[in-house]
């Protein structure tokens, strides 16, 4: 009834049977193992972003959460919530999104508490008759979700200020028919969809895109995440910077001391600074709370290895950039 292939475990796949059994199959041994069994037909499954936890939706409306075993903990399985409809649509990102035959989406937190309900999302056929929602899929960072129906798909994004999901886009495509499959490019910059008539389309899903000093392509895949790609090395992987606190409002790239070569990324949100060294072996970023606001009067010095000195309003701050 449903198959999942965890990205972090390429030699195993999880599959669900009609009688409610959830199994995991080894692609090396061609053998399967029972994870757990529910006395109701399985209609959907979803993994969290890390692949460590699994959700299964069943025909009686129940949704179960299974946690895979680790070196220090045994596997666990428990009922998360009972939905009002059979959860034919199920995806897991920042929240758990559930949809059934009532043409509405319900968002739950990781403990099964209801966060938000969005109604009146059905598509309409050529005679004006309503069609149910057919598929949902979260973006890789979990901050956006696409909902497919008949001749239409909609994009919702997480509003970090109002703490709710907001529709950002509703695209109607004539003669597309029912959207039956959705998947995102791993970096979140593109969306592919398949339909009941065999159509496969790929859409540019960038939230914002521009060229920085003719040297770097900066692509926002969500308000809180950006990809920075060096145009001089087209085959290189983009550098990802992400904020855990809010929308990234501005990105600057500063040169190395005594050189014209751009190296250090400075990202800004309303209340934080994001610092990243593109030549670091780990290429990890540091995000700190910042009281400077949007004054842009700071002076940055990267003379010390793996650290940044920030001078602002008569104060000196030292921040570890990456190890």
Per-residue pLDDT tens over the stretch 225-252: 899 999 888 788 889 998 888 889 999 9
Rounded mean pLDDT, 92-119: 93
Q: Is the pLDDT of residue 261 over 50?
A: yes
DSSP, collapsed to helix, strand or coil, labels residue 303 as coil
- For residue 119, what are the CA distances in angstroms to 100, 138, 166, 258, 303? 11, 18, 12, 57, 54
What kind of fold does domain 2-176 have according to CATH?
Methylamine Dehydrogenase; Chain H (2.130.10)
Per-residue pLDDT tens over the stretch 283-295: 778 899 987 656 6
* Interatomic CA distance for residues 256 and 236, integer angstroms: 20
pLDDT for the residue 129: 47
Domain ranges of the chain: 2-176, 208-320
Residues 109-119 as b or e (16 or more Cβ within 10 Å = b): eeeeeeeeebe
Tokens of 206: 């960038």
Quote the percentage of the chain above a pLDDT of 70.
94
Q: Is the pLDDT of residue 147 over 90?
A: yes
Q: Confirm if 212 and 253 have CB atoms less than 8 A apart.
A: yes
Per-residue pLDDT tens over the stretch 191-221: 999 999 999 999 988 888 899 988 999 999 8
Tell me how far apart the terminal alpha carbons of the chain are, to the nearest angstrom: 45
Per-residue pLDDT tens over the stretch 131-146: 688 999 999 989 899 9
Going by pLDDT thresholds of 50, 70 and 90, the confidence category of residue 127 is very low
Sheet holding 62-67, edge to edge: 42-47, 53-58, 62-67, 76-82
Per-residue pLDDT tens over the stretch 163-190: 899 988 888 888 898 999 999 998 888 9
Quote the percentage of the chain above a pLDDT of 90.
50
Tokens of 75: 């596997």
């Amino acid at each position: 009834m449903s198959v999942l292939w965890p990205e972090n475990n390429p030699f195993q796949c999880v599959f669900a049977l009609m009688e409610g059994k959830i199994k995991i199959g080894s692609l090396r041994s061609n053998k399967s193992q029972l994870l757990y069994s529910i006395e109701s037909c399985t209609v959907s499954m979803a993994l969290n972003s890390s692949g460590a936890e699994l959700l299964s939706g069943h025909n009686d409306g129940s949704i179960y959460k299974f946690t895979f075993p680790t070196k220090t903990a045994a596997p666990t399985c428990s009922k998360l919530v009972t939905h009002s409809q059979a959860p034919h649509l199920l995806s897991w990102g920042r929240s758990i999104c559930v949809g059934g035959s009532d043409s509405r989406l319900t968002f739950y937190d990781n403990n099964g508490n209801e966060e938000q309900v969005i109604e009146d999302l059905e598509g309409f056929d050529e005679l004006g008759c309503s069609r149910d929602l057919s598929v949902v899929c979260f973006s890789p960072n979990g901050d956006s979700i696409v909902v497919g129906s008949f001749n239409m798909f909609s994009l919702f994004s997480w509003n970090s200020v109002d703490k709710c999901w907001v529709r950002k886009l509703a695209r109607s495509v004539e003669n597309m028919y029912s959207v039956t499959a959705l998947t995102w490019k791993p970096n979140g910059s593109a969306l592919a969809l398949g339909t009941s008539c065999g159509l496969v389309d790929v859409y540019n899903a960038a939230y914002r895109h521009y060229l920085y000093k003719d040297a770097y392509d900066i692509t926002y895949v969500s308000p809180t995440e950006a990809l920075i790609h060096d145009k001089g090395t087209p085959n290189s992987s983009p550098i990802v910077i992400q904020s855990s606190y809010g929308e990234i409002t501005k990105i600057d790239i500063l040169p190395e001391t005594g050189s014209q070569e751009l190296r250090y990324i400075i990202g800004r949100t309303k209340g934080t600074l994001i610092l990243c060294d593109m030549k670091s072996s780990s290429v990890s970023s540091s995000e700190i709370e910042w009281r400077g606001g949007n004054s842009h009067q700071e002076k940055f010095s990267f003379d010390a290895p793996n650290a940044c000195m920030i001078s602002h309003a008569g104060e000196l701050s030292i921040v570890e950039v990456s190890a």
